[in-house]
């Protein structure tokens, strides 16, 4: 999509971090923005920031793990803003731990938000974008969708699935001759609040394990430090997303220094050897 002004962007996870940055970046292009998140207080503030850029905003509380709420968002976006063109399935959470340490609740929460949130977003908006033969999906994965760092198995699984879903979506649209585009965003560490995503975990998926192991606590501290030390800001990533939409570019890799680890994984696959630890390369 070359021309964005006057069109409508939809952003999930819009109350903070990359979602907020993308919402403001698209507003800066003259797009009206539909914003979704479970954090209603911060969502309202971001909506005001969007309106301050001279465009309209539609804010709605949405739990992306629930398909009916994404369908309701699609309906209300069309009703309030007149359509939908760029759909950013961005909401995400990041519990840590070895794959056998994560509880069933951890897995359900992670896959519900990170994977099912994207599935529901595609299912809700794809028929509308296909009908108008115009639009673009931006699915937020991670470099953890291209490599598999230790200590974050549930997150890795969800993000690898988002990459696979996005690639499949691209092929399905191309097979039908659709002009609807797809991008998959795979950033590394960006200073956001994702390391504190536990604050938004629903009560019914609360972790039944009352105490975390010393190893889990240490990994959480390391993640929090790495996220906050990220050299590329959320605003820079958002501008890369805008450029990818305009250029109709599929893979959006914002951190060039991670590419050797991606290459190493691909080489390990082709050479049929055991995977190397991407954090040790």
Point out the residues that are catalytic.
155
For residue 271, how many other CB atoms are within 10 A of its CB?
8
Distance CA 176, CA 194 (A): 36
Which alpha helices (H) appear in 151-213, and where do they start and end?
Answer: 153-175
The gap from C-alpha 117 to its chain's centroid, in whole angstroms, comes to 9
CA distances 245 to 86, 96, 135, 193, Å, are: 8, 31, 9, 25
Closest among 186, 183, 136, 188 to 159, alpha carbons compared: 186
Any residues with CB less than 8 A from the CB of 191 and at least 6 apart, and which?
227, 228, 229, 230, 233, 234
Please report which helix (H) or strand (E) contains residue 192, including its range.
none
136-140 and 181-185 strand pairing: parallel
Distance CA 228, CA 67 (A): 32
Distance CA 77, CA 89 (A): 15
Please report which helix (H) or strand (E) contains residue 33, including its range.
strand 32-37
**Cβ-contact 6, 30 below 8 angstroms:** yes
- Residue 235 has, within 13 A of its CA and on its CB side, a CA count of 3
Which alpha helices (H) appear in the chain, and where do they start and end?
Answer: 17-28, 40-51, 67-81, 104-110, 116-132, 153-175, 214-228, 234-247, 259-270
């Amino acid at each position: 999509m070359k021309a964005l002004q006057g069109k409508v962007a939809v952003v999930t996870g819009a109350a903070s971090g990359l979602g907020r940055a993308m919402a403001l970046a698209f507003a800066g292009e003259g797009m009206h923005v539909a914003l979704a998140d479970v954090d209603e207080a911060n969502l309202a503030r971001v909506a005001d920031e969007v309106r301050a850029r001279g465009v309209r905003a539609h804010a709605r509380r949405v739990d992306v793990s629930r398909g009916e709420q994404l369908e309701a968002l699609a309906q209300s976006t069309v009703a309030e803003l007149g359509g939908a063109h760029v759909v950013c399935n961005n909401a995400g959470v990041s519990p840590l731990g070895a794959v056998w340490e994560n509880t069933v609740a951890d897995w359900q929460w992670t896959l519900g938000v990170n994977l099912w949130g994207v599935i529901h977003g595609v299912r809700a908006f794809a028929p509308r974008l296909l009908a108008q033969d115009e639009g673009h999906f931006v699915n937020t994965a991670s470099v953890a969708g291209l490599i598999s760092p230790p200590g974050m198995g549930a997150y890795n699984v969800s993000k690898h699935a988002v990459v696979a879903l996005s690639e499949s979506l691209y092929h399905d649209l191309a097979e039908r001759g659709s002009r609807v585009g797809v991008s998959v965003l795979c950033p590394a560490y960006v200073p956001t609040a994702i390391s504190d995503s536990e604050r938004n975990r629903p009560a019914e998926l609360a972790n039944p394990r009352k105490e975390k192991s010393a190893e889990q606590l240490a990994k959480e501290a390391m993640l929090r430090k790495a996220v906050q030390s990220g050299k590329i800001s959320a605003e820079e990533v958002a501008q890369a997303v805008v450029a990818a939409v305009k250029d109709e570019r599929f893979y959006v890799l914002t951190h060039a220094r991670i590419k050797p680890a991606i290459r190493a994984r691909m080489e390990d696959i082709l050479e049929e050897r055991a995977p190397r630890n991407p954090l040790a390369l």
